Amino acid sequence: MRILQVSAEIFPLLKTGGLADIAGALPTALLAQGCDARVLLPGFPAILAGLQDPVRVGAFGTPWGESVEVLFGALPAVSQGVHTVYAYVLVAPALYDRPGNPYEDANKHPYADNHRRFAALGWAAAHLAHGLDTHWRADLVHSHDWHCGLAPVCLAVWNAGQGPRVPSVHTIHNLAYQGIFWPQNFSDLGLPDHVFSVGGMEYFGQISFMKAGLSYASHITTVSPSYAREIQTPEQGCGLDGLLRGRAGALSGILNAVDDKVWDPATDRLLQHRYDVRNLTGKARNKAALQTAFGLTVDSDAPLFTVVSRLTEQKGLPLVLGGLQEILSRGGQLMVLGNGDTQLEQAFTLQAKAHPNQVAFKLGYDEDLAHRIFAASDVTLVPSRFEPCGLTQMYGLKYGSLPLVRRVGGLADTVTDTDLETLEDQTATGFVFDSFDASDYGRAVRRAFALYRRRSDWNRVRQTGMRIAFDWATAAQQYTHLYQSLM
């Protein structure tokens, strides 16, 4: 099967969140399953810099009159072992060669022409499914998140829908981000008028790239089974729950996985002290090193709570701030790495200044530091309002940091609460609370402190979590079966 994966970013070349981790790991996992998988990416400078021996396979004109060149080459940084990942990359400097991140300028304002920048990605997918590269043609297109939501539409309307339709899968990584644009932007997209309708991509008078993908994809997946159920409800459907209930027969959840080549404390070259489930001495040394580096009191008895996250309300960061005194008064410490909402950035900055020996805050995202934090951490905080899958709780488990999470989405699918029963049957892996409020969150924090004082129980729970395999082979097998059923 020739599978074209379409994404706006890919680890380790370009990353703003968990989407890049998935986009970077899934192609090699599919190759290992026997699929002929390739990726399609926009030509951001970091991606072009990682493209080895590029050759021109063709070009196409956009509906708004711009010409886009398509290069083909290998991505050595993404490839693993015997599996080389090949990519098609769009060359259009006017669209992609800009400061800021892939979606926003340096002032955190979305680019006004984002609808064009990512419509080009959708049309490129359709061209590659219909012969742009004379040596390779996609049998199925797998698009990720709103940035690639036009790919299923462009496939569906190709040649006015005449002839065999190339099937498509569209994966929701976070339904809250939908790619909403003004209706006057529709004319730029080159789509027939009927697509701008309730049954197409019209969304409360505007246009939604996410809705386009959900309406036209042959099948929809999410990144966890629980999230697939939750988005069919008004509470978490983000205005699209009716559409998703209507497509329930073509909707499923496949749990994300962790790339063991990148996230493994026994082999992680970013760690000063490596360790494994049989010998955790290195973890204690990593904790002391991080405490020293960020001015925290070096104290092995002080549980270190950590956050590695985008700083948004969705991630439950107001709960972390509101419950900080509970952690500090009991002798705990907090380390936060992330950026996002300006008010949250300022709040964590103030707390770090007010409690320099117990609270540390690093603004921005630092991949190397993230690894060191997980290796030093005792508790990984992910108290999200909603969470499609979440990767940080799985990284925490791999690195012996017990996740403290809310029972939603992929968090519910990956963390088993610690109570008398799960301690007895040795299935406990962390702390899970239900209600998105300070009271429920605070009880989970107190339970973490109580377990931390019972070191033998703590170590047993930690070891259980470290032994769980969130492997890509299982996920890739599920995707392969899905592709086969659609073809």
Residue 159 placed within a domain: yes
Number of structural domains the chain divides into: 2
Residue 274 placed within a domain: no
pLDDT at position 187, please? 97
pLDDT at position 165, please? 85
8 Å CB contact between 198 and 135:
no
Residue 209 placed within a domain: yes
What domain range is 416 assigned to? Answer: 281-467
When pLDDT is averaged across residues 294-322 and rounded to a whole number, the result is 97
Residue 269 placed within a domain: no
CA dist 477 and 482 (Å) reads 9
Burial state string for 100-122 with b = 16 or more CB within 10 A and e = fewer than 16: eebbeeeeeeeeeebbbbbbbbb
**Domain CATH code at residue 293:** 3.40.50.2000
- Residue pointed to by tokens 């966890």: 224
State pLDDT tens for residues 46-88.
999 999 999 999 999 999 999 999 999 999 999 988 999 999 9
> What mean pLDDT, rounded, does the chain reach?
96
pLDDT at position 178, please? 97
- Which is it for strands 304-308 and 2-6: parallel, antiparallel or unpaired? unpaired
* 191 and 292 share one domain: no
pLDDT at position 106, please? 85
The proportion of the chain whose per-residue pLDDT surpasses 70, expressed as a percent, equals 100
* 99 and 243 share one domain: yes
pLDDT at 160 over 90: no
271: left (phi over 0), alpha (psi -120 to 50) or beta: beta
- Which is it for strands 379-382 and 402-406: parallel, antiparallel or unpaired? parallel
Helix (H, G, I), strand (E, B), or coil: what is residue 75?
coil
When pLDDT is averaged across residues 277-282 and rounded to a whole number, the result is 96
* 235 and 300 share one domain: no
8 Å CB contact between 181 and 146:
no
* 251 and 312 share one domain: no
Residue 315 placed within a domain: yes
* 232 and 287 share one domain: no
Please tell me what DSSP assigns to residue 240.
Answer: -
Residue 414 placed within a domain: yes
* 476 and 441 share one domain: no
pLDDT at 17 over 90: no
Residue 17 placed within a domain: yes
pLDDT at position 108, please? 83
CA dist 483 and 475 (Å) reads 13
* 455 and 480 share one domain: no
pLDDT at position 158, please? 93
* 373 and 316 share one domain: yes
Tokens at residue 99, please? 């400061």
pLDDT at position 219, please? 98
* 244 and 314 share one domain: no
State pLDDT tens for residues 232-254.
999 999 999 999 999 999 999 99
Please measure the distance between the N-terminal and C-terminal CA atoms of the chain and give it in whole angstroms: 9
Longest Cα separation, the chain: 69
Residue 186, C-beta contacts closer than 8 angstroms, at least 6 positions apart: 196, 207
CA angle in degrees (0–180, nearest 5) for 34-37-42: 165
pLDDT at position 107, please? 85
Q: Residue 150 to residues 70, 112, 126, 137, 217: CA-CA distances in angstroms?
A: 18, 18, 9, 19, 10
When pLDDT is averaged across residues 134-160 and rounded to a whole number, the result is 95
pLDDT at 162 over 80: no
* 301 and 216 share one domain: no
* 331 and 412 share one domain: yes
Residue 263 placed within a domain: no
pLDDT at position 369, please? 98
pLDDT at 176 over 80: yes
State pLDDT tens for residues 376-427.
999 999 999 999 999 999 999 999 999 999 999 999 999 999 999 999 999 9
59: left (phi over 0), alpha (psi -120 to 50) or beta: beta
* 213 and 319 share one domain: no
pLDDT at position 73, please? 98
State pLDDT tens for residues 335-391.
999 999 999 999 999 999 999 999 999 999 899 999 999 999 999 999 999 999 999
The pTM score is 0.92
